[in-house]
Amino acid sequence: MGHTIPDTLKMLIDNGVVIPSPLSVEIGGEVDPGRIARGVTIYPGCRIYGKKTIVMSGTKLGAEAPVTIQDCQIGPDVELKGGFFKKSVFLAKSNMAYGAHVRDACILEEEANGAHTVGLKQTILLPFVTLGSLINFCDCMMSGGTSRKDHSEVGSSYIHFNYTPNQDKATPSLIGDVSRGVMLNQRPIFLGGQGGLVGPAKIGFGTVIAAGTVFRGSLYEDAKIVYGQEPSCAVRDFKPGIYWEIDTRVKNNIIYIANLISLKAWYRHVRKLFSGPDPLEQALFEGAVEKLDMALDERIKRFKALAEKMPESISQYTSVMKDAASSSLISKKQGLADNWKQAESAFDSLRSFSGDDNLRETFLSMIVREMEERGTPYIETIQGLKEDTRTRGTAWLQGIVDEVNSRIMENLPMFA
């Protein structure tokens, strides 16, 4: 019995898409064939869905195992070698190996990559960041490093712990930062294998967390090393919903959201300069900005859920502690609950904040001048920036972070 190749697959093959076994490949009827470029290779068993999906030239899908794509924007020369990929963006030369599970609102920037069996969701990896095998790394942003040979790394069998016994996910971790990380001139961060990071954490550039360490804390300064064993286990009564400490949780959530807003400004004003007139390039850029908005939605939603738990937390806490209850902790919890609506409104008003106009425009003019002098693509241009240009750009982006922090603290003064 003969088999007929579907019209969509015929069209793709005629347009220069390499499909060695077309009868094993499924393309959803909603997918626009014109958004899968000449020079893409789709190996046997792959499934591609979603009207927002684009796949740019040189990309290879399914080289190690079948791949399922749903509403992803995939840039040039990307390799997704096996697994499931949904509502995420992959910029040039990023890659993921067999067994990947990459879900909503992930961005893998240029040459970011993961070995086999990596799970990501709400994860942003700046250029060159490398993940080993058997990793769960959701709800975090990581940067650091200057090139593919000098990159931040997460060792195999690592976990970012993003869900608490109190059943909340107000736990995003910022590993590096945006204002310096995007300049591609910072020392790499190393998170050693067989370890974990308990969110929400803030980790500085140049930091090493030794293999086998589960780190429960933040390192706001750069170039620290964490090693050795933690204290032995202790057992005590568990009282769900109390939240014995919320300062760090609140402050690190604000810092994380501020960095998302800063990164969105970087995309809207700097990366946009490198997005050419080609419709697929435009769709890739728009997809990345959309994912940043999705990330902001998620973080504000999770922060709100935490705030809404505070009245019950106060009740549980005072019931257990009675006269020994800390009035300061109660005041902070009550303040978060009472002032959340104002803080949420401030977050919403700042989502597209672009910082100081003079700093931004001066920096952009410097970027344009260097682009014209070099004629290089994004990565090479940023790597080659003069130090004064980088300094001006970092000041602009950090100003956004500082302003967001300041505006939110006006509404949550008990945490200032």
Token pair for 171:
């736990």
Mean per-residue pLDDT for 345-373?
96
Both tokens of 225, joined, read 């090393």
Confidence of residue 1 (pLDDT cuts 50, 70, 90): very low
Mean pLDDT of 58-74: 98
pLDDT in tens, 191-220: 999 999 999 999 999 999 999 999 999 999
Peptide bond into 200 cis (omega under 30): yes
Local confidence band at 55 (pLDDT 50, 70, 90 cut-offs): very high
Mean pLDDT of the chain: 96
Q: Going edge to edge, which strands form the sheet with 47-49?
A: 26-27, 47-49, 67-70, 83-86, 100-102, 118-120, 135-136, 159-161, 196-198, 214-215
Give the pLDDT of residue 194: 96
pLDDT of residue 206: 98
pLDDT of residue 237: 86
Residue 231 pLDDT > 80: no
- Give me 232's structure tokens: 């032995």
pLDDT score at 230: 67
Residue 211 CB-density burial (10 A; 0-12 exposed, 13-18 middle, 19+ buried): middle
**pTM for the full model?**
0.97
- Which is more confident, 84 or 230? 84
Q: Where are the beta strands (DSSP E) in 75-180?
A: 79-80, 83-86, 89-90, 95-96, 100-102, 107-108, 113-114, 118-120, 123-125, 130-131, 135-136, 140-142, 145-147, 150-151, 153-154, 159-161, 173-175
Half-sphere exposure of residue 106: CA atoms within 13 angstroms, side-chain side = 31
Q: Please state the rounded mean pLDDT for residues 117-139.
A: 98
Position 233 confidence tier, pLDDT thresholds 50, 70, 90: confident
Cβ atoms within 10 Å of 78's Cβ, excluding its own: 25
Please check the confidence at residue 302 and state whether its pLDDT lies above 70.
yes
Over the stretch 75-112, which tens digit does the pLDDT of each residue have?
999 999 999 999 999 999 999 999 999 999 999 999 99
Report pLDDT digits (tens) over 151-185.
999 999 999 999 999 999 999 999 999 999 999 99
